[in-house]
Amino acid sequence: MNKKVLVIGEMREGELRNLSFECLAAARKIAGEGEVVGALFGENSQQRASQLIQYGADRVLVSEDDNLKKYTTDAYRQAVIQLCNNENPESIILGHTSMGKDLAPQVAAELQSGLISDVVDLEVEGDNVIFTRPIYSGKAFEKKQIEEGPIFATVRPNNIPALEKDEARNGEITSVDLSIKDLRTIIKDTVKKSTGGIDLSEANIIVAGGRGVKSAEGFNTLYELADILGAGVGASRGACDAEYCDYSLQIGQTGKVVTPDLYFAIGLSGAIQHLAGMSNAKVIVAINKDPEAPILEVADYSIVGDLFEVVPLLKEILKKE
Ligand code: FAD
């Protein structure tokens, strides 16, 4: 298989997100001996473009058009469509992030192509690319392929390992003129809600609390544990609904999907909607006082006990390490 694959990179606060490198790894697999073309929009794209080359792109197209400084559906859709029309890629790959989830269906609809979202793995068999994606809130996986038109997919973070960085790789970086017009949305200012801590979708360790944590003060203990571990803090919807923490921490079917190496599930029952967001974590440690709690069935290690006794002990031990 020798395909041309277009990868839309994603920046956050002037830095490339790791997921962009994972998308490149997926693209390299699809392209075979073909070409992987990276695309990057917004502030700092020119400086960051060489990183895409180092992680597998053959060349990169960048645009620092004022309208692309911050993501808006309208502007990015126009930009990606123009690149697709110019480049005619046989495959298009994006991250399955808030941006990818919003942008990919719109581009697919305009290109009248299929779209396979939330891909966690892929195999190439001859000319066919077979994608694996979770269904039924992560209870099962299905294999899918697009038989006609561009192969278009979004890739879930932390599932397809990035290629090793190769600083010796060279490739052309080209500034492209895109015509972005008739915008219905313009971002004037961004006001960020500060939750502090590490970005959950890219965290290697997550300490997540549930309704069992009982209060916002209880969550402070989890923040302390997370600090010691260098972890991000997440939550069940139960904890968010009870106002112990902000909804931006919610993990699950209607929250964030995370795949850290280590996930502490503390005082949360493990409802199927929560599992949908974290069951792909490599190692799950549950702390729950109920020996029948469903989370214990998916946990690799379980501590049955009162979190208000277990977590302080854990902190003490970890501090000594
Ligand atoms: P509970 O189910 O009340 O569990 C609390 C747990 O804490 C219990 O297991 C208990 O044994 C334990 N506990 C209590 N005290 C202690 C203690 N002192 N020490 C140790 N353990 C203790 N939920 C999500 O999380 N994410 C989602 O994205 C999500 N999306 C949803 C979408 C839909 C459409 C619906 C219908 C529901 C969704 N939910 C989601 C809600 C989900 O069904 C559960 O209600 C929720 O996950 C429960 O949160 P919890 O586990 O914190 O609370």
Lowest mean pLDDT among 80-84, 97-101, 283-287, 305-309: 97-101
Angle, helices 307-320 vs 216-229, to 10°: value is: 20
Residues 264-275 pLDDT 10s: 999 999 999 999
Which helix (H) or strand (E) element contains residue 265? strand 262-266
Quote the percentage of the chain above a pLDDT of 90: 82
Residue 269 known to bind ligand:
yes
Nearby residues of 92 by Cβ (< 8 Å), 6 or more positions away: 5, 6, 7, 8, 80, 84, 107, 113, 150, 151, 152, 153
Q: What is the rounded distance in angstroms from the CA atom of residue 6 to the CA atom of residue 23?
A: 10
Instruction: Indicate whether residue 2 lines ligand 1 (CB < 6 A).
Output: no
Instruction: Indicate whether residue 209 lines ligand 1 (CB < 6 A).
Output: no
User: Across the strands, what pairs with 269?
Assistant: none
The alpha carbon torsion through 71, 73, 78, 81 (nearest 10 deg) reads 100
**ipTM field:** 0.98
CA of 221 to the centre of ligand 1 (A): 18
Residue 252 known to bind ligand:
yes
202-227: average pLDDT: 95
Confidence at residue 321, expressed as pLDDT on a 0 to 100 scale: 74
Instruction: Indicate whether residue 236 lines ligand 1 (CB < 6 A).
Output: yes
Give CA separation, 177 vs 45, 52, 172, 186, in Å.
14, 20, 16, 19
Instruction: Indicate whether residue 88 lines ligand 1 (CB < 6 A).
Output: no
Residues 38-57 pLDDT 10s: 999 988 899 999 999 999 99
Q: What is the rounded distance in angstroms from the CA atom of residue 279 to the CA atom of residue 262?
A: 11
Average pLDDT, the chain: 93
Q: What is the rounded distance in angstroms from the CA atom of residue 26 to the CA atom of residue 263?
A: 25
pTM of the prediction? Answer: 0.80
Q: In the 8-state DSSP scheme, what is residue 212?
A: G
Strand, helix or coil for residue 273? helix
Q: What is the rounded distance in angstroms from the CA atom of residue 196 to the CA atom of residue 143?
A: 37
Q: What is the rounded distance in angstroms from the CA atom of residue 181 to the CA atom of residue 175?
A: 18
Which helix (H) or strand (E) element contains residue 79? helix 73-87
Instruction: Indicate whether residue 302 lines ligand 1 (CB < 6 A).
Output: no
CA of 76 to the centre of ligand 1 (A): 37
Confidence at residue 12, expressed as pLDDT on a 0 to 100 scale: 85
Confidence at residue 16, expressed as pLDDT on a 0 to 100 scale: 94
pLDDT-derived band of residue 14, with 50, 70 and 90 as boundaries? confident
Strands 205-209 and 172-175: unpaired
Strand, helix or coil for residue 319? helix
Residue 179 known to bind ligand:
no
The preferred substitution site among 207, 213, 217, 236 for testing ligand 1, maximizing ligand atoms within 8 Å of CB, is 236
287, 311 in Cβ contact below 8 A? Answer: yes
Nearest ligand 1 atom to the CA of 270 is 51
Which helix (H) or strand (E) element contains residue 29? helix 18-31
Confidence at residue 200, expressed as pLDDT on a 0 to 100 scale: 86
Confidence at residue 199, expressed as pLDDT on a 0 to 100 scale: 79
Quote the percentage of the chain above a pLDDT of 70: 98
Residues 145-175 pLDDT 10s: 999 889 999 999 888 999 999 999 999 999 9
Nearest ligand 1 atom to the CA of 307 is 19
pLDDT-derived band of residue 1, with 50, 70 and 90 as boundaries? low
Instruction: Indicate whether residue 84 lines ligand 1 (CB < 6 A).
Output: no
